[in-house]
């Protein structure tokens, strides 16, 4: 298996890893960095549970290879706020009772944050697989 050295910024911190050529971004975030707020649902780009912000655009991290993160800036739900200091959008969700399932709330917070930054366009690095 080929390894690719990547350097990226995740939630404001510079990181460097040697990733496998088939390693997905979601796996790098969860397994290497412990950022488990990014959830895996369908694993094929349909549910949005794995949404993160890459260079200001929302991306399904289950469809992006970790190697493609080289030189990018990534924001996960953990990068938006903490339980003690919520991002204003997270706080608004809580205040308005918009809590649904944890997966959905995280996805909504990340996606809405990208929208609030004026970069609401989604970016899917790969075409979706055809339905099985």
Contact window for ligand FES (CB under 6 A) among 5-13, 17-25, 44-52, 79-87: 44-52
Cα distance between residue 90 and residue 25, in whole Å:
23
Other CB atoms within a 10 A radius of the CB of residue 26 amount to 24
Cα distance between residue 87 and residue 41, in whole Å:
24
Our CB check for ligand FES shows the closer of 48 and 106 to be 48
Q: Is 49 in the site for ligand FES (CB under 6 A)?
A: yes
Q: Which of 38, 60, 90, 112 binds ligand FES (CB under 6 A)?
A: 60
Q: In what order do the strands lie in the sheet with 3-10?
A: 13-20, 3-10, 73-75, 51-54, 57-60
Q: Is 125 in the site for ligand FES (CB under 6 A)?
A: no
List of residues contacting ligand FES (CB under 6 A)? 40-43, 45-50, 60, 62
């Amino acid at each position: 298996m080929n390894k690719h050295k990547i350097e990226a910024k995740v939630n404001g911190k510079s990181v460097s890893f040697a990733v496998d050529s088939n390693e997905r971004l979601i796996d790098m975030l969860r397994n290497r960095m412990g950022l488990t707020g990014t959830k895996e649902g369908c694993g094929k780009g349909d549910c949005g549970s794995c949404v993160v912000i890459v260079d200001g655009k929302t991306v399904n991290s289950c469809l992006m290879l970790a190697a493609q993160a080289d030189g990018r800036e990534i924001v996960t739900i953990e990068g938006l706020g903490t339980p003690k200091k919520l991002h204003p959008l997270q706080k608004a969700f809580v205040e308005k009772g918009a809590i649904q399932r944890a997966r959905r709330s995280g996805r909504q917070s990340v996606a809405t944050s990208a929208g609030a930054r004026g970069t609401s366009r989604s970016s899917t690095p790969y075409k979706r697989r055809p339905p099985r």
